[in-house]
Amino acid sequence: MEFRDNGEETAFRAKVRAFLDAEYPAEYASRPTEWGFFNGAARITQEFRDFMRGWVAKLNEEGWGAPAWPKEHGGGGLSVKEQFILSEEFAWRRAPRPGGIGHGWAGPTIMVYGTQEQKDRYLPRIISGEDVWCQLFSEPGAGSDLASLQTRAIRDGDDYVVNGQKIWTSGAHHSHMGILIARTNPDAPKHRGVSYFLVDMKTPGISIRPLVNMLSSHEFNEVYFEDVRIPASSLLGEENRGWYIATTTLDFERSGIASSVSHQLITRDLVAFAKETATGQRAMAANPGLRNELADRAIESQVESLISYRIISMQDRGEIPNKESSIAKLYSSELDVRLSVTGMHLAGLHGQVDDHEWAPSIGGRLPRFYMHSTTSPIGGGTSEIQRNIIAMRGLGMPRG
């Protein structure tokens, strides 16, 4: 692993820090954004929403709104190490970056497979933030085995007619566009009869139903397609080649350093809670083992950082992390759970109080963090799947 920046990287890190010093208000740098949406959107002030609009514009001026995108498409054209530095410095300052399906998946895939007309139409609106995107992949019977999807898209003149259902679609209720994979050849082997579409979410026949989780938070949705007519010009790439488009991975920084920094900041918050609040002090006195528990979380968050540095060192040498990415995802997901459990041990009965005003010392974060952490080992590929990848690709073990 290479922990040191070279001369150019040192200069770039200094530039990022200077930008944050000048442009990101100190009062926002103290916001516990790594606990993020666990506090609920209602607690994001209008003042911060207004700030964010100008913030996105400033990032785009620097090319940091989409740092991995080529400059000709409005991005920063940064190297993988520069992306790593940007993510790391922003995470330590708790500074937000644009992201999501549009920046991270739809845009890069359009760059590779889209027509010039598609690039000209969609890419600028992703960069500007005008269009929010969602991913229409998973189905009730096609989650981990996504190639078993049954949503159909049948060619009819200049359109495709789509029928079917998608599930666990994050943000569909406020998305303008969606990336959709659907079966266009039911007679072909399941990986070979799938096509990839760019869909206007306001198209007649699309209905969205909320899936409200145990946090009473509306993040996921079911999406139904009933005789939805999608123009053939919305097909991305070749018909029946959508599976290979959907599995495209691009050479973008995916080290997970932002998650590592977030976990280190959460650990610091928990230590401060243990030292500075009556509730935390009582918990520590009643259970001396909590000191070891906090020490474990601090060590584990540092180990997570080392895994991130290993991945970025590989990418910087032109190598492609495979099992290493699965190790990072598995470790980070399960550390999320362990951190939340430690927080609940410290909070005691206060860990049941989801009320920012009544419990300002913990801000109502702990119970929501605890409940949400249960999703970490599932989303983005379950822990079981990650262990299989590590076993087969990393250890050379046979498929079970």
Q: How far apart are CA 333 and CA 342, in angstroms?
A: 15
H or E element at residue 197: strand 194-200
Q: What is the C-alpha separation between 36 and 375, in angstroms, rounded?
A: 15
Measured between alpha carbons, how far is residue 76 from residues 63, 72, 127, 135 in Å? 4, 9, 11, 24
Give CA–CA dist 157/164, Å, rounded. 20
pLDDT of residue 367: 82
H or E stretch covering 48: helix 46-62
Distances (CA, A) of 329 to 15, 199, 221, 305, 353: 30, 30, 24, 12, 30
Annotation says 334 is catalytic? no
Residue 155 near residue 199 (C-beta atoms within 8 A): no
Amino acid identity for residue 232 in this structure: A
The domains found in the chain, sorted by start residue, are 7-98 (no CATH), 133-246 (2.40.110.10), 257-394 (1.20.140.10)
pLDDT at 400: 63
Rounded CA separation 188/185 (Å)? 6
pLDDT at site 42: 42
Query: What is this structure's pTM?
Result: 0.85
CB 307 within 8 A of CB 331: yes
Helices (H), 255-322: 257-276, 278-286, 289-316
Name the strand (E) or helix (H) holding 340: helix 323-347
CA atoms within 13 A on the CB side of 387: 8
Per the residue annotation, which of 253, 300, 304, 324 is the catalytic one?
A: 253
What is the C-alpha to C-alpha distance for residues 124 and 398, in angstroms, rounded to an integer? 46
pLDDT of residue 364: 66
Contact (Cβ atoms closer than 8 angstroms) between residue 180 and residue 337: no
Three-state secondary structure readout of 52-89: HHHHHHHHHHHCCCCCCCCHHHCCCCCCHHHHHHHHHH
Spatial CB neighbours of 35, under 8 Å, sequence gap ≥ 6: 266, 269, 363, 365, 369
Per-residue pLDDT of the chain (400 residues; tens, 9 = 90+): 778 889 999 999 999 999 999 999 888 877 665 554 434 444 567 777 788 888 888 998 898 989 989 999 989 999 989 999 999 999 999 898 877 899 989 999 999 999 999 999 999 999 888 999 999 999 998 877 888 999 999 999 999 999 999 999 999 999 999 999 999 999 998 889 999 999 999 999 999 999 998 877 888 999 999 999 999 999 999 999 999 998 775 555 567 888 999 999 999 989 988 998 888 899 999 999 999 999 999 999 999 999 999 999 998 888 888 889 899 999 999 999 999 999 999 988 878 776 555 454 565 678 888 888 988 898 777 899 889 989 998 888 887 6
For helices 289-316 and 323-347, angle between their N-to-C axes, nearest 10 degrees: 160
Whole-angstrom distance between the N-terminal and C-terminal Cα of the chain? 32
| pLDDT for position 32 | 63
